[in-house]
Amino acid sequence: MSAKLEALSHNLQKHLGDRVKSLREALGEVTIEVDAADYLVVMQTLRDQPELSFEELIDLCGVDYSTYGNVQRVGGRFAVVSHLLSISHNWRLRVRCFAMDDNFPSLPSVTSVWSSVNWFEREAFDLLGIVFPGHNDLRRILTDYGFVGHPFRKDFPISGYVEMRYDPEQQRVIYQPVTIEPREVTPRIVREATYGNV
């Protein structure tokens, strides 16, 4: 671990203490996991504490862990992963927070901490159905007006449920059930770590 990452890990432990559920350093990146209850406080500290000072939220994305490693997973299905960047210290951090309820995933919004998160949270809501209480404009963003479902969930088929076409009789664009069959050219295979002596 380089000196910089060590300093970062040390500062994280110093200022967040027990709020950090796990701290991992891999591939030159530091990842922390926090509980949903602490999420907002942790994010606030990460920005405001001068020894951490993550001025920028670079990215926030939702992840659906339900088929991770080709096994069905129960509990802790949805997580939100944010990437933070500190301009003054020149370091990065990844924060992961699991949403408790699989049927209604919900995490507090951090729009009050970073304005840039606004559209990222809308996107996570749109694509994965994660709700962010405290977000004042949680509309769909990337999918069509009136879209049903959350397309980036693992149980959503890649071809979708409906397709659009122009109907010459009704003289308007209509939706109908998809007519294409899902097709997998290369199957998804998880090999053991030592496969082929890489």
CB closer to other proteins, 18 vs 26: 26
CB closer to other proteins, 14 vs 48: 48
Residue 55 corresponds to which tokens in the numbers above?
Answer: 């001025």
Among 27, 74, 173, 180, binds other proteins (CB under 8 A): 27
Among 98, 114, 125, 132, binds other proteins (CB under 8 A): 114
- State the residue for tokens 């990842």: 31
- The pattern of x and - marking residues 128 through 167 that bind other proteins according to CB under 8 A reads ------------xxxxx------xx-----x---------
How far apart are alpha carbons 96 and 195 in whole angstroms? 29
HSE-up (13 A, CA, CB side) for residue 6? 3
Among 25, 35, 38, 56, binds other proteins (CB under 8 A): 56
Q: Give the number of other Cβ atoms within 10 Å of residue 19's Cβ.
A: 17
Quick check: 180 and 159 in contact, CB under 8 A?
A: yes
48 touches other proteins by CB under 8 A: no
How far apart are alpha carbons 156 and 150 in whole angstroms? 7
How far apart are alpha carbons 9 and 4 in whole angstroms? 9
116 touches other proteins by CB under 8 A: yes
The footprint of other proteins (CB under 8 A) covers: 26-29, 31, 55-59, 61, 63-64, 68-70, 81, 83, 87, 90, 92, 94, 114-119, 140-144, 151-152, 158, 184, 186, 188-191, 193, 195-196, 198
